[in-house]
Amino acid sequence: MSVLSRRSFLAAAAGAAALHTTTAAEPRFTIAPFTEEVSPPIGHPCMGGGIAPVKEIVDPLYATGFVLQGAGDPIALVAVDWCEIRNDAYDLWRDAIAVAAGTKRERVLVTALHQHDAPVADLTAQRLLEKAKAKGAICDLDFHDKAVTRVAKAVRRGMAKARRITHLGTGQAKVERVASNRRYRDEGGRIQFNRTSASRDPKARSAEEGLIDPYLKTLSFWDGDKAVVALNAYATHPMSFYGKGGVSSDFVGLARKLRQAEEPRTHQIYISGCSGNVTAGKYNDGAPDNRLELAKRLHEAMREAWNNTTRQPLGEVAFKTIPLRLPVRSGKGFTADDLSNRLRDDPKPFGQCLAALGLSWRRRVEADRPIDVCTLDLGGPALLLLPAEAYVEYQLMAQAARPKGFVVTAGYGECGPGYIPTEVAWTENDTNLTDWCWVDPGCEERMKKAIEEVLK
């Protein structure tokens, strides 16, 4: 198996630190944008083996980001057009980028956008499947290694062309007719959770929008009156239609592309907010034409947020990270023995994949490797990174924790836990939690505490 070791990754990315020494004559803050394609090969599993594998590349997938210098060790952000990056794969992304940027792992923020016609990366889970000679497959280890190495090289290239930053911009706009909560009440008043990304049931589409964060936020970095980077964030599952093997960055990637064409000198980044329980299902029945329509609606909000942007001098910049420990799921079907048996005996390949993903997360918890909850504090405005498929309530908690600030929240950081619901979702028997959720009840208080502490 042609899988590079972590040492090989670090060696491949080494040599960059010498490029990043700051002298008194240099500008206080600089930013280095980067982009690299990370489209999977034909035949690669999509959504961790849960849907059809790659048959064609409808539009390429990218890792886009920046490295910010001037506030101690460099701070890096990378947003990846993949479904999820989990456990040891997540650590490997952060390690490789940290070496390329000349910084520490803790100061690297990796977030997936969560498109479903895209890879899930979990190296331990894939090795468990191979060891068990299972039919299921989650990811191609060799492709993963090459993708991470390419992104690390793109970071180094970007560092050589870093731009001065003097100002910070903030803007927001309401997104019309895109997001809706999975949870809604039917005509009889009963709570339902079956509003998926593409909902063909007209009753689900006619029900109320439910709890969402209706605003797209844009955080931008400027050199005087010249915009260098624009980071756009919105909380919804980013799928219009999927599952046929057509790899696509979907409507969020198309909206990003439209903005890049409008503002070619400004590096456009998009991140998905906390949207484990938020989809486009109220406004989307899965018709292919809806992809472009949803992209147009999101793009219009991006444009409006840009037009609403106000600038301020970039003064103090701080970075904070705290450890978060979430309880591993322990109920029937989720014990270590249950998952091992399912890995071995489940007749469905995807069932084997789910078991391997659960075991991989369990190993992380048992090894006491906590999740880093990170905040890049920009003197009032802040960029917060939260793990996995956190429910939208956690994004709203973050805004409440700093009501006079401008908090941009990225979800889908360390994706090992799967869904991170609120306590009420358990009591209401949220049907989405029957699988793809590897945490026990009790997460909400821990998440709230971490959010309040890191934004303090």
**Where in the sequence is the domain holding 438, given as residue range(s)?**
6-326+356-454
In degrees rounded to 5, what are phi and psi of residue 56? -160, 160
Cα 265 to chain centroid, rounded: 25
- pTM for this prediction: 0.94
Residue 410 CB-density burial (10 A; 0-12 exposed, 13-18 middle, 19+ buried): buried
| 56: in domain | yes
- Check whether 16 has a pLDDT greater than 60: no
In degrees rounded to 5, what are phi and psi of residue 415? -95, 5
61-107 confidence digits (pLDDT tens): 999 999 999 999 999 999 999 999 999 999 999 999 999 999 999 99
Alpha-carbon distance of 411 to 233, in angstroms, equals: 10
190-223 confidence digits (pLDDT tens): 999 999 999 999 999 999 999 999 999 999 999 9
Q: Are 382 and 406 in contact (CB under 8 A)?
A: yes
| 15: in domain | yes
The residues pairing with 80 across neighbouring beta strands, listed in sequence order, are 63, 112
Beta-strand pair 318-324/371-377: antiparallel
According to DSSP, residue 175 is labeled P
| 210: in domain | yes
CA distances from 341 to 267, 403, 454 (A): 48, 48, 39
| 344: in domain | no
| 299: in domain | yes
Place of tokens 């010249």: 226
Beta-strand pair 226-234/215-223: antiparallel
Q: Roughly how many angstroms between the first and final C-alpha of the chain, as a whole number?
A: 46
| 175: in domain | yes
| 343: in domain | no
Q: How many domains does the chain have?
A: 1
| 345: in domain | no
312-348 confidence digits (pLDDT tens): 999 989 999 999 999 999 999 999 999 999 999 999 9
Q: Are 201 and 108 in contact (CB under 8 A)?
A: no
